[in-house]
Chain A
């Protein structure tokens, strides 16, 4: 098994944790990366967070009574971030929520238990969509061996994760349109997606082009078999008035990993012991990370964690530990064997 370089063998930004192996990175004389330098120019972040809270309050007030059944469809992985988002949406806003979980056959048993406990405790309807095992095995075997998507996707996630989350996003959008749900919620951490995308009306023509770009990366029978999980092309015109507003509240609510985990205990969520340090629900993640690091020399979560270090949400040392610790060999081998590789 390839050994992954640790923080002492790489040059890291002296402010965040991005390494010199991160594509296109540049450092100034003080060893500060260009992303930290750009970030320093952005002013008044607390003010911006408050503006987004008010924006969400207004959006929910305006949409609450327009829904036929559910106010919001939550993309629910059972991890800590999406569980905490559910808690906010239920306890702060008392919304009618449908939680949709995409079971990729690598959802950890403890995450399934968390999904059941949390949705029961909050009184939320839950559906789980679980494609056939041979389909996801083929998909993940392909994307663990090859980078089939655009180069830009590699900066933010492994190809395995991009293939999985691409299906989740399409499936959630398709379901929201079919059920006329006006809001779609994700549990993106404050490091995963920029605050300006935290409340965003989905634009049909943009979504169509994005979906085409992703799914045209597949070929042959795999592409045909994945079609049923994506938004049919005629929906983009026929149902253009039903396209939901996407929200990811953790971009602007207070975010502290340990506090979140403690709060979640009250609704039956337990910290999984069977996942890697960057996931609280997926047993494929360590192998996906391993493949990405092996091919590209940087961790697929480093962008997210660097953003969180930059925002002061986690300490730099903690970020370094999350990113520059070797993937658990047992978890890597477990996933590889299950994919038949």
Chain B
């Protein structure tokens, strides 16, 4: 499964009752109330385990974490930087 599909599956399963309707690649998790600031950390926990990356405190910003598109770009950068 690609990064984007994995992230989407996690969000849908854990925050949207298994229903993907209305979740676009650029949908803001925070603005739409899909995930709150605590929930974001559950996402971070998942990212660290699934993609073997480490998320620093200063990286906990909407530009990295607040949509599927942002997450995909962020994880791709992290993986590339680690390589």
Q: How far is the CA of A217 from the CA of B33 in the complex (A)?
A: 10
Kindly identify, within residues 169 to 193 of chain A, every residue whose CB is under 8 Å from any CB belonging to chain B.
193
Contact check, A201 vs B62: say whether CB atoms are below 8 A apart.
no
Stretch at the interface among A135-143, A145-153, A231-239: A145-153
Contact-residue size bin, chain A (C-beta under 8 Å from the other chain): 20 to 34
Assembled-state Cα–Cα distance A152/B43 (Å): 14
Provide the residues of chain A in CB contact with B66, threshold 8 Å.
206, 209
Report A-chain residues with C-beta under 8 Å of the C-beta of B61. 203, 205-206
User: Roughly how many angstroms separate A213 CA and B31 CA in the complex, as a whole number?
Assistant: 5
* A42-B41 in contact (CB<8A): no
Enumerate A191-216 residues with CB–CB distance to B below 8 Å. Answer: 193-194, 196-197, 200-203, 205-207, 209-210, 212-214
A205 x B33 contact (CB < 8 A): no
CA A200 – CA B11 in complex, angstroms?
21
Distance in Å from the Cβ of A1 to the closest Cβ of chain B? 27
Q: Output the least CB separation between B46 and chain A (Å).
A: 9
CB proximity of B24 to chain A, nearest CB, Å? 16
Check if A201 sits within 8 Å of B15, measured CB to CB: no
CA distance A150 to B14 in the complex (A): 14
Residues of A with C-beta under 8 A to B30: 206, 209-210, 213
Rounded to whole angstroms, the CA-CA distance of A193 and B42 in the bound complex is 9
B45 to chain A: closest CB distance in Å? Answer: 5
Complex CA gap A216/B17 in Å reads 22
| Cβ contact within 8 Å between B17 and A196 | no
Interface size on B, residues (CB 8 A): 28
Name the one of B17, B18, B60 contacting A203, with C-beta atoms under 8 angstroms: B60
Docked CA distance A194–B43 (Å): 11
Are B49 and A41 neighbours in the complex by a CB distance under 8 Å?
A: yes
- A338 CB–B CB distance under 8 Å: no
| Residues in chain B near residue A207, CB distance under 8 A | 37
For the complex, give the distance between the alpha carbons of A197 and B39 in Å. 9
Contact between chains at A151 and B16 (CB < 8 Å): yes
Q: How long is the Cα–Cα vector from A153 to B29 in the complex, in angstroms?
A: 12
A and B contact pairs by CB, cutoff 8 A, 25 listed: A24-B13, A24-B18, A34-B13, A41-B49, A149-B33, A151-B16, A152-B15, A152-B16, A152-B36, A152-B39, A155-B15, A196-B41, A196-B45, A197-B37, A200-B37, A200-B41, A206-B30, A206-B37, A206-B60, A206-B62, A207-B37, A209-B28, A209-B62, A212-B31, A213-B36
Which residues of A come within 8 Å of B, CB atoms? 23-24, 34, 41-42, 149-153, 155, 193-194, 196-197, 200-203, 205-207, 209-210, 212-214, 217
